[in-house]
A and B are shown apart, each in its own frame.
Chain A
């Protein structure tokens, strides 16, 4: 049994990104207060919390969209200062957002290689190698377990919501994401579609990517997570490994309230 999940996981995986007491103030209002967590290669860390708990703020800080008010971010044990999303991407931190990520009126192959298109020829004859793009797309998809026949020429708009989300994730992995940040990837999906994305996350994890799975769905988190961090009002109120808590308690922790705060204390006790 993995009772001491943290040490076990750290034994088998290296820490890619570490947040040390990061905080963020908006005009004196603290959106995030001293949050610390570690993203390990080949592990899925679920960041849970209700709306307004600070999940989005945390994503913005680690993907370079906004600057820290305090604390520090370490990548490969060295401090980094992201001043733009591009600088975060250059360190291998990729983000897949719930709504954006694919272009419905473009083909699967065109979508997949966008921004890093493989080319043939030189000078004016330099053109996109669509056969190669199609091969990359279909091969990556089958590697990551999408078994439905998807043609590279197919418009992305013909894919289901889950498949589109999967495509965006696979794209990020193919282009060398070391930390994959997923902002509510299953929020708009049905059960079967969510399952597709969750199964994909397990494959992505097998490839040694550190996954930060941000969600407010405790069931989805429980299905794939290795480590769970619950945020409430900008603070970490619980941080535990797989098997340490129940879904019910996770939800109670997320929701808060007088009666429920006892569970927070209980959770902290059990982890100490």
Chain B
């Protein structure tokens, strides 16, 4: 005797209709654009709030000490732009799930290369710039290839690279010039391109805005951007979908090094001085800017606009402290505070964004 399959296979005769009603309490994502709710759910919301908060604080404390003047505004914007240029590709790389701690020493190395060629040997500035770009790209390539090939955490790989580059730059600089600080006097087209200013506003602002626009376009609109999100979100899933995750990572390591090279060139030609220690503060401030701006430390989430707000937060805090006449080290206190607050806020926002409240 054979029973009917439905009684044998103790399974409901008709399956519950698919998709009728939410299978669990999933809050509907608001579709209304421009509402406060959707604005707060954007990844860059944390960065925007941090920047506004720190601006309000210093406008209140240091508004009468020049913080709100045109020069004061230019000062924090200039500071933000230099950090911002480093932070953009670092944030992009973090979206793809990797760190780059070597950017700070690449700034110093670039500075030494440009100053040695231009200031010490009196060569064309372009020779130093081209060499710095080539060396920077090589360092990024090496960071990427080592990380991808060994599967070691990029935190360690680039920490090692940071020390290697730093030591190498000091060694070469001392060997060639007997000094780790070389002066020069920038002039001509290279100065216009990298170190000119209108009033108190530096040309680095233009670089920053243009690069932020390009990075936003690439991250949000192109296939490469989609691949970067996926690579950082879940490496295995991305690979299974056919994303060339290694290529994505290596190219982003090269970009983060090149961002540091650009800032190295800008600062060296602006200060008329090449110094190995230039940019050493960027090691962690670039990552801090990205995190304050909503880039997820574990990758797969974040925006370039947020990263820019993170850099603005740093710029405002450092210049605000300067105008107050406080010890410059207090800048770090503020940045650190905002970093922690941003981490907490971003975690919270992401949970809300995913409806897991």
Interface residues of chain A, those whose CB is within 8 Å of chain B, are 85-86, 89, 95, 97, 100-106, 110, 113-117, 119, 126-128, 130, 145-148, 151, 153-155, 157-160, 162-163, 171, 192-193, 195-196, 198-200, 219, 222-223, 242-243, 246-247
Contacts and interface: CB of A to CB of B under 8 A. Distances in A.
Contact of A155 (B21, B226, B354): B354
A46 B21 CA distance: 29
A242 B227 CA distance: 43
Contacts of B15: 195, 198-199, 223
A116 B238 CA distance: 11
21 contacts: A95-B240, A102-B237, A103-B233, A105-B296, A106-B229, A106-B230, A110-B230, A115-B227, A115-B241, A126-B223, A127-B222, A128-B221, A128-B222, A145-B18, A145-B19, A151-B31, A157-B353, A157-B355, A158-B353, A196-B19, A247-B8
B1 to A, nearest CB: 12
A32 B26 CA distance: 43
Interface in B332-357: 350, 353-356
B222 A157 contact: no
B224 to A, nearest CB: 10
Given A114-B226, A128-B223, A154-B29, A146 B18 contact: yes
Interface string B20-37: 111110110101000000
A93 to B, nearest CB: 12
A151 B237 contact: no
Interface string B25-56: 01101010000000000000000000000000
B10 A159 contact: no
A145 B227 CA distance: 28
Nearest to A242: B5
B306 to A, nearest CB: 14
Given A128-B222, A147-B20, A104 B9 contact: no
B295 to A, nearest CB: 11
Given A127-B222, A200-B18, A246-B8, A100 B23 contact: no
Looking at chain B's contact residues, the main secondary structure is: loop
B320 interface: no
Given A105-B300, A146-B18, A219 B11 contact: yes
B243 interface: yes
A117 B243 CA distance: 11
Residue among B27, B29, B221, B356 with most chain A CB within 10 A: B221
B301 interface: yes
Contact of A196 (B23, B226, B230): B23
B242 interface: yes
